[in-house]
Amino acid sequence: MERLIAQNRKAYHEYFIEETFQAGIALSGTEVKSMRAGRCNLKESYVRIEGGSAFIEGMHISPYSHGNIFNLEPVRRRRLLLNRTEINSLRAGVTQDGYTIVPVRVYFSRCYVKLDIALAKGKKLYDKREAIAKKTQDRNIQREFAQRV
């Protein structure tokens, strides 16, 4: 059973998603409680690989309202829990020109907080225009089909 916490819709607009990975996040207790309340933001966040570990930076988790001294910084580096082979494949992908690692969504899988990250290639302006035009065309076709039925 999965419960969505936050989603990065901008990632699908800004990037071509090539491959996705599921990762756990190393969190403190008050951060998990804040996540249960849905207080997470993925905008402006990105994944960096350093040494043999992957970290997410720029992810904002609001402080827990009843956490007092146990609250940590809202925007801090958090370690991602990935296998060595996954980290190596991400590192190999990022070395290619134009590729980056972006977080796509955060959710609860049973009692664990999971993060979907994607190996993605940046879109050019004309690619974005084509995607918007195709989406508008599909929407118009659906409207016409619904009116006829």
**Domains of the chain by start residue, with CATH:** 2-123 (2.40.280.10)
Token pair 């990762």 in the structure block, residue:
23
Token pair 């804040």 in the structure block, residue:
34
The pTM score is: 0.81
pLDDT > 90 fraction of the chain, expressed in percent and rounded: 60
Q: In whole angstroms, what is the distance from residue 122 CA to residue 116 CA?
A: 18
Residue 136's alpha-carbon distances to 71, 93, 126, 131, 143, in angstroms, are 44, 32, 15, 9, 11
Distance from CA of residue 104 to its chain's centroid?
2
pLDDT (tens digit, 9 = 90+) per residue, 74-104? 888 999 999 999 999 999 999 988 899 999 9
φ, ψ of residue 137 to 5 degrees: the values are -65, -45
